Amino acid sequence: MALQPGTPAPDFSLVTKTDSGLETVSLSDFKGKMNVVLLFFPAAFTGVCTDELCGVTNSFGKFDNAGAVVYGISGDTPFAQEAWAKQNDITVPLLSDYSKTATKAYDVVLPDLVGLGPASQRASFVINRDGVIVHSEVTATPGDLPDFDAIHAALANL
C-alpha cells in the first residue's frame, strides 16, 4: 500500500537529463523551501503517460502558483525520458528511477508491466515544505489518470 498522508516523505536522489547533462535531484533539496508534487508513471512512450505529462505541462502554471515543483518519475533511463519529453514537448522535469529505489520507498511498485517486469504504478504524492505527505493516490489501473483536482485541492490547503 502506497505511503499515506501524514507520513514523512522518504528522501531520494534521482537523475534527470538536462541540456547541460545529467543532474541529481534530491527531495531534501526542497525541504523548508517548496511543496513538491511527485507523479510516478509506468513508462515513457506510452499513450496514457504521454497524456498525463503533456496535460501537466499544459497546466504548469497552476502548480507554480501553488508554490510547488512537479517531477515525473519512472524507471526509464534519463536518456529515454529526454527523447520522449522532446518528442512530446513535455517540460515537466523527469527523474529516472532506473533502480526503482524511490518506487519501492513510496511503495508503488507495479509487479509486471505487460510482461516487461516491474515498473512504477501511476501514483501521485503532494509533499509539503516540512517533508510530510499531504496527498497520496495510486490509480486503480495504469490506464487511469491521477485525480488532478485532488492534487490541486491538497496544494490549495497548504
Active site members: 49
Pairing of the two strands 68-74 and 94-96: parallel
Which grid coordinates belong to 33? 523551501
Contact 130, 60 (CB under 8 A): no
Q: Identify residue 87 by its one-letter amino acid code.
A: Q
Contact 62, 83 (CB under 8 A): no
Which grid coordinates belong to 67? 508554490
Contact 94, 85 (CB under 8 A): yes
Interatomic CA distance for residues 100 and 118, integer angstroms: 9
